[in-house]
Structure 1
Amino acid sequence: MVREDGKRNFVLREDDGTEDSVFSGRTPRQAALKAARRLPPAASEGDVDDKAVLRLRERGTDKVHIYHGWAWKEEAPDDAPDWMPEVITKANVSKQGIEHLDE
């Protein structure tokens, strides 16, 4: 279901089918990036050795978007605002496909 501002809600599905966290975004990738930032980060982008599987179901549909996601720590940019910490978590995702639930 699309909200008035164009964003959609995606629910993170666990392997056992439970759904806990909700991420919003205009695209499934935007929601997947938000979910990936919550993964345990590697020390740097080069140290990423394993990728988590993120399964995001769009609310109101039976479509499950599947991504591989990973996160790492990085120094904040030089022009960062005062409220931003010195070390930030960055993330990336790679889409693997879409499944449809039979429920």
Structure 2
Amino acid sequence: MVREDGKRNFALRDSDGSESSVFSGSTPRQAALKAARRIDDVGESEAAATRYEIQLREKGTDKLHIYEAWAWQSDSPDDKPDWMPGEITEANVAKQGIEHLDEP
């Protein structure tokens, strides 16, 4: 379902089917990137990062968006604001497909 501001809500599904968090975004990829930045096991570089499968159920629909996600630590940019820490978590995702669930 699309909100008034054009964003949609996506629930992060665990392997047992429970939903632990909700991420919003204009596209499923935007929500998946937000979810990927919260991966606990981040790598030292993008190449060394462990890949994980994440599943996002689009609220109000039967669509389950499946992504391969990975995250890594990197140094903050030189022109960073004062509040930003010295290291930041970056992430990337690759869409694996869409499944349709029996229950929305």
Task: Give TM-score scaled by structure 1 length.
Answer: 0.96
The answer for unaligned runs of 5 or more in structure 2 is none
Which residue in 1 is equivalent to 2:73? Answer: 73
CA RMSD in angstroms comes to 0.7
Which residue in 1 is equivalent to 2:96? Answer: 96
- Tell me the amino acid that sits aligned with residue 45 of structure 2: S
Distance in structure 1 (CA, Å) of the matches to 2:18 and 2:34? 19
Structural mapping, 1:4-83, within 5 Å:
4-39=4-39, 40-48=41-49, 50-83=50-83
Distance in structure 1 (CA, Å) of the matches to 2:92 and 2:48? 14
Q: Which moved more, 1:37-46 or 1:80-89?
A: 37-46
* SS of 2:88 mapped into structure 1: strand
- Tell me the amino acid that sits aligned with residue 92 of structure 1: N
Number of aligned residue pairs: give it.
102
- Deviant stretches of 4+, over 4 Å: none
Task: Give TM-score scaled by structure 2 length.
Answer: 0.95
- Tell me the amino acid that sits aligned with residue 43 of structure 1: E
- What fraction of aligned residue pairs are identical, expressed as a percent? 68
